[in-house]
Structure 1
Amino acid sequence: MRLLWIIMAGLLSACTLTLEGITVSYCWDFSPAILRFEPDRGAGATYYVGEEVRFFLTLAEPGWISLVAIDPDGRTYEFDRFYLGRGTYVLPPGAYRYTLMPPRGLQRVRAVYTDRQPGSLRLEGVYTDWDARLRVYLDASGAHRYQVVETYFYVR
Structure 2
Amino acid sequence: MRSTLLLGTLALGLSACTVSVQSNLGVAGSTDSGLISALNPDRGEGSSYYVGEAVRFYLTTRTSGYVTLLSLDPNGNSNVLIRGASVGAGTTVFPRPQDGAVFNVAPPRGVQRVRAIFTRVRPSADLYLSGQYSSGSWNATIQQRLGGYAVADRDVRETFFYIR
- Pick aligned residue for 2:42 from 19, 40, 43: 40
Map of 1:131 onto structure 2: 139
Q: For structure 2, list consecutive stretches of 5 or more residues without a partner in the other structure.
A: 1-30
> 1:101 and 1:35 mapped to 2: Cα distance?
28
Matches within 5 A, 1:56-71: 56-71=58-73
2:145 matched to 1:149? no
| Counterpart amino acid of residue 73 in structure 1 | N
> 2:102 and 2:131 mapped to 1: Cα distance?
23
Map of 2:95 onto structure 1: 92
Conserved 8 A contact 2:78-2:131: yes
> 1:117 and 1:57 mapped to 2: Cα distance?
17
- Normalising by structure 2, we get a TM-score of 0.70
Moved over 4 A (4+): none
> 1:67 and 1:61 mapped to 2: Cα distance?
17
Map of 2:108 onto structure 1: 103
> 2:129 and 2:107 mapped to 1: Cα distance?
20
Alignment deviations for residues 5-42 of structure 1 (CA, whole Å, 9 cap, x no partner): xxxxxxxxxxxxxxxxxxxxxxxx94401111100000
Point out the structure with the larger strand share: 1
Conserved 8 A contact 2:33-2:154: no
- TM-superposed deviation, 1:86: 0.5
> SS at the partner of 1:152?
strand
Q: For structure 1, list consecutive stretches of 5 or more residues without a partner in the other structure.
A: 1-28
> 1:79 and 1:73 mapped to 2: Cα distance?
17
> 1:79 and 1:59 mapped to 2: Cα distance?
18
Once the two structures are overlaid, the 10-residue window that deviates more, 129-138 or 60-69, is: 129-138
For the aligned residues, what is the CA RMSD? Answer: 1.7
> SS at the partner of 1:108?
strand
- TM-superposed deviation, 1:143: 2.4
Structure with higher Rg: it is: 1
Conserved 8 A contact 1:123-1:137: no
Number of aligned residues = 126
- Pick aligned residue for 2:74 from 72, 75, 80: 72
